Structure 1
Amino acid sequence: MSIKPKLNRFDLTMIVISLVIGMGIFATPSDVANKAGNVYIFFGAWIFGGLVSLCGALTFAEIGARFPATGGFYKVFSYCYHPAIAFMINWVLVISNAASVAAVALIGADYIKPFLLPANMQNDFGTKIITITSVAILYVINFLGIKMSARTQSVLIIFKMSMIVLICTTVFKSNYVPVETAIVPHSGSLITAFGLSLVAVFFTYGGYQQTINFGGDIINAKTNIPKAVTFGIITVIILYLSINYAYFHILGIGGLQKTPALAAKMIGVIFGATGYKITSIMIFLSVLAYVNVNVLANPRVYYAMAEDGILPPIFKKVNPKTQVQEFGMSFFIAAIIIILFFVAKFSEMLKYVMFFDTIGLSMAAVAIFLLRKKTKHLDGTGIYTIKWFPLVPVIFIISYWFVTINIFITFRENPYAALICLAAYALGLVIYYACTWNKKTQTE
């Protein structure tokens, strides 16, 4: 059955905005400021990151239009490359998703730990206690079969956008005198500082890649997709630049470098200590909602892989009473907790997440060149095609590999980190061939 387009331009615009705006903007500007070391690199990274994200969103929209298959990246990799490559990349992205959830959980911990822990425990150990405990509680709740509704998520994105607007109003706080804080300059060259700044920026702009799932769902795709994606990403860029200007106006680059719980600090400027506490609690609850949705959604990826026979059947086992993938969910939770056990800093977690994501997403973008050859028969049929091809995908691919190289360079400070990342890819190949070999022997 072919996909019938049902989404209009406004629908896709809101989808793009909802996919991109997550929890990162309430924490990552601090990390960007630390890597940038000056105002120009800081704001330059946010502008450049937004434009690259626009290129990525348009690229993935065409991939989705040319290959509108359920299964997203796994199906695309399998069709354009090889099933083994598809499994390896998606296996690593599954690990990356767990690391991403862990990173967001760390954001929540930074906001709430001043109110939950005594002063002598507001360190890495205290952060681990809060994050692991929060994830464990959500695991128990989900194990009982409690689900989050789509309506809750819609309310959440409205809340987040409202909070961004509220934070931006701090620039009009006329009686506030900014505290001058010494700026810690960037280490290394300007190019390195810019590249490392983009790690947190690309994480914050992430989510647009899910436009791959909507390429065949848009009414009048050739016109509506580029306009909706462009307007959506530009809206996000404006919101992100506005909130970062507000951060900079009140705290300065030096203050940004030393303030992890940014949203609470900013609203505290308007509403005082009470506003600071309420905002911290609300951010923490938003983090829990994000983690909870991922705990529900990610095991579905395992289910799809198990259906294709490339993961053991236990991954698609569902409890008939609660409709919970008990083993799949337990595996995902275990991955999050193991990652949190070894890494307790948001900035360190970002390196792992973005190392995996930059490789996976850039390889997915390369697929557009292969798809254009394999699906020439679709040209001129009304599907969306990138106007400035191949410039748009090339900008995206080169930018992401630039960030990958910068992350890899930083791993020289901790060689084991690079080995862990490369071992994750190798493990994916081992699991794929082990599962396919086992499947072959069972059918003989």
Structure 2
Amino acid sequence: MLTYLAGSKINIYGDTLKTTMGIIPKLSRFDLSMIVISLVIGMGIFATPAEVAVSLSNPYLYFGAWFFGGAISLCGALTFAEIGARYPTTGGFYKAFSYCFHPAFAFMINWILVISNAASVAAVALIGAEYISPVIMPAGLQNDTGIKIISITSVLVLYVINLLGIKMSARTQNVLTLFKIAMILLLCAAVFKGNTPAVTAHLNHSHINRNNLSGFGVSLIAIFFTYGGYQQTINFGGDSINAKVNVPKAIFRGMLVVISLYMIINFAYYYVLGIDGIQHRPALAAALAGVMFGATGYKVISLLMFVSVLAFINVNIMANPRVYYAMAEDGILPSIFKHINPKTQVQEFGLSFFVAAVLIILFFVGSFEKMMSYVMFFDTVGLSTAALSIFILRKKTKHIDITGIYTIKWFPFIPVIFIITYWLVTLSIFIENPTAALICICTFAVGLAIYFITKFSQKTKATP
């Protein structure tokens, strides 16, 4: 991800790792910073504060949880920065852990993260549906049923579009990221509008406010969901100019921007809506726009948020089947995942498999709050376990320390803090939603079974 010995013809890992000389570094520090920001800032910040406020109604605990979550996420980002620096290769999130542990373990972790991506797409689809539902749905369907209808319909429409071979360009990523930052700052300007006292929503108070350690732990489930995504930068090592300098700085600066934006917009939510208002308004961005611009602003921002959601879903529908393709190339998934339609250049089976996973999750889990438990159990287990590889890589690649590669300051405290915190959040999820945790554990087991079944099948076919 982060760095490699540019121009070197020496394979620093012996026969274990192929060189990446075919990749020409083109990404600047600014490009990398935009990548980090765009990977982290999705749609969560426009919905998860409501979940956090439910657990922590005390403003000091509320903001403290967001700051703490940002600091821990920064620890995780720096940990994966060194992992990428020590094992720079395309698809590093699979290759590095296969190198450190066992291919079966690497497959199980990546299998889970692929499923987690499907759950994330489903969760984001629900957020988008919550925003657009008051604009397009009749009053009688502005409920969970209407939101589910919009979510499923959106995914199916994009599935059909992708089957036709229509592709989205990634060249507008920097522009879209800057646009999203500008939109957040514009929403935050609501605090400067005159006569905007905190708007409270005197609805029902069935939520349980737990201003204690338990509530703090539960709130981190939503917060880490919102801060997640930086780990994907582990795949950009070969693309980075002067990676050993630029990537760590880009990750650090990108995460500082994210943390700052999250704290600012949370202050805007609190100033305009109050904690009680945050709790009862899932479409928070639209609520701020409504305060600033009235009913028209509410509708416009709702439409923009929904379009942003569609773009996120479409990118994932296009990208995730390629992960299956890479695994199938290594012989870990069945060869049908490699099949590409010669006319449309679409991985029809892989595409259908991913969309089916999204729809199944949407069908059985109809709320964003429940979805987060599944996504974050996958992520907390997967990322904390993957972070353990830094200790193995430090031993296996000790001989390259003199080359000036990026290393974490205050090692091993930074990765240890990250890993232990994620384990505690995993425990919180298990206590809060044991059904989701058990389902996720079974999914881990299914991934392990798929690996060994595939390998046994290959061995049987190879035997004369």
TM superposition score normalised by structure 2: 0.92
Task: Tell me how far 1:418 sits from its aligned partner.
Answer: 2.8
Q: Is the contact made by 2:47 and 2:282 (CA closer than 8 Å) also made in structure 1?
A: yes
Task: Tell me how far 1:14 sits from its aligned partner.
Answer: 2.2
Counterpart residue number, 2:7: none
Counterpart residue number, 1:374: 396
CA gap 1:140/1:267 in 2 versus in 1, 3 angstroms: same
Q: Deviations over 1:8-50 (max 9, x none)?
A: 4333222212221111111111111112222122111110111
Q: Deviations over 1:160-203 (max 9, x none)?
A: 11110111100001122332446877555611111111111111
Counterpart residue number, 1:225: 247
Q: Is the contact made by 1:65 and 1:383 (CA closer than 8 Å) also made in structure 2?
A: yes
Counterpart residue number, 2:190: 170
Q: Is the contact made by 1:45 and 1:194 (CA closer than 8 Å) also made in structure 2?
A: yes
Task: Tell me how far 1:402 sits from its aligned partner.
Answer: 1.2
Q: Equivalent residues in 2 for 1:207-356 (5 A)?
A: 207-215=229-237, 217-356=239-378
Q: Is the contact made by 2:125 and 2:313 (CA closer than 8 Å) also made in structure 1?
A: yes
- Distance (Å, rounded) in 1 between the aligned partners of 2:173 and 2:159: 19
- Distance (Å, rounded) in 2 between the aligned partners of 1:54 and 1:313: 38
Counterpart residue number, 2:119: 99
Give ranges in structure 2 of 5+ residues lacking alignment. 1-18
Q: Is the contact made by 1:61 and 1:214 (CA closer than 8 Å) also made in structure 2?
A: no
Answering whether residue 30 of structure 2 is matched by residue 10 of structure 1, we say yes
Counterpart residue number, 1:443: 462
Query: Which amino acid is 2:461 matched to?
Result: Q
- Distance (Å, rounded) in 2 between the aligned partners of 1:335 and 1:384: 38
Query: Which amino acid is 2:320 matched to?
Result: N
Q: Is the contact made by 2:20 and 2:238 (CA closer than 8 Å) also made in structure 1?
A: no
Answering whether residue 417 of structure 2 is matched by residue 398 of structure 1, we say no
Answering whether residue 223 of structure 2 is matched by residue 204 of structure 1, we say no
- Distance (Å, rounded) in 1 between the aligned partners of 2:116 and 2:229: 13
Counterpart residue number, 2:148: 128
Answering whether residue 441 of structure 2 is matched by residue 422 of structure 1, we say yes
Q: Is the contact made by 1:181 and 1:255 (CA closer than 8 Å) also made in structure 2?
A: yes
Report the secondary structure of 2:259's partner residue: helix
Counterpart residue number, 1:37: 57
Q: Deviations over 1:321-374 (max 9, x none)?
A: 111000000000000000000111111100000000010000111100001111
Residue of 148, 164, 183 corresponding to 1:144: 164
CA gap 1:326/1:216 in 2 versus in 1, 3 angstroms: closer
- Distance (Å, rounded) in 2 between the aligned partners of 1:80 and 1:338: 33
Task: Tell me how far 1:231 sits from its aligned partner.
Answer: 1.6
Task: Tell me how far 1:290 sits from its aligned partner.
Answer: 0.2
Query: Which amino acid is 1:304 matched to?
Result: A
Task: Tell me how far 1:153 sits from its aligned partner.
Answer: 3.3
- Distance (Å, rounded) in 2 between the aligned partners of 1:185 and 1:124: 18
CA gap 1:353/1:424 in 2 versus in 1, 3 angstroms: same
- Distance (Å, rounded) in 2 between the aligned partners of 1:207 and 1:53: 10
Q: Is the contact made by 2:82 and 2:407 (CA closer than 8 Å) also made in structure 1?
A: yes
Query: Which amino acid is 1:438 matched to?
Result: S
Q: Deviations over 1:367-417 (max 9, x none)?
A: 0000111111111112111121111111111111111110010124xx3x2
Task: Tell me how far 1:219 sits from its aligned partner.
Answer: 4.2
| RMSD (CA atoms) | 1.7
Report the secondary structure of 1:70's partner residue: coil
CA gap 1:263/1:98 in 2 versus in 1, 3 angstroms: same
Q: Deviations over 1:197-222 (max 9, x none)?
A: 11111111111112212345444444
Q: Is the contact made by 2:20 and 2:89 (CA closer than 8 Å) also made in structure 1?
A: no
Counterpart residue number, 1:70: 90
Report the secondary structure of 1:344's partner residue: coil
Q: Deviations over 1:122-147 (max 9, x none)?
A: 22211111100100000000000000
Q: Equivalent residues in 2 for 1:181-200 (5 A)?
A: 181=201, 186-188=208-210, 190-200=212-222
Q: Deviations over 1:32-79 (max 9, x none)?
A: 111222212211111011111111111111111111122222112211
Counterpart residue number, 2:14: none
Task: Tell me how far 1:5 sits from its aligned partner.
Answer: 4.7
Q: Deviations over 1:96-153 (max 9, x none)?
A: 1100000000000000111222222222211111100100000000000000111343
- Distance (Å, rounded) in 1 between the aligned partners of 2:207 and 2:340: 53
Query: Which amino acid is 1:109 matched to?
Result: A
Residue of 354, 365, 385 corresponding to 1:363: 385
- Distance (Å, rounded) in 2 between the aligned partners of 1:229 and 1:134: 33
Report the secondary structure of 2:233's partner residue: helix
Bigger mean CA offset, 321-330 vs 29-38: 29-38
- Distance (Å, rounded) in 1 between the aligned partners of 2:319 and 2:382: 19
Query: Which amino acid is 2:20 matched to?
Result: S
Report the secondary structure of 1:22's partner residue: coil
Q: Equivalent residues in 2 for 1:81-96 (5 A)?
A: 81-96=101-116
- Distance (Å, rounded) in 2 between the aligned partners of 1:5 and 1:118: 52
Q: Is the contact made by 1:215 and 1:384 (CA closer than 8 Å) also made in structure 2?
A: no
Percent of pairs with identical residues: 67
Query: Which amino acid is 1:430 matched to?
Result: A
Report the secondary structure of 1:112's partner residue: helix
- Distance (Å, rounded) in 2 between the aligned partners of 1:420 and 1:131: 23
Give ranges in structure 1 of 5+ residues lacking alignment. none
CA gap 1:83/1:392 in 2 versus in 1, 3 angstroms: same
Report the secondary structure of 1:145's partner residue: coil
Q: Is the contact made by 1:61 and 1:215 (CA closer than 8 Å) also made in structure 2?
A: no
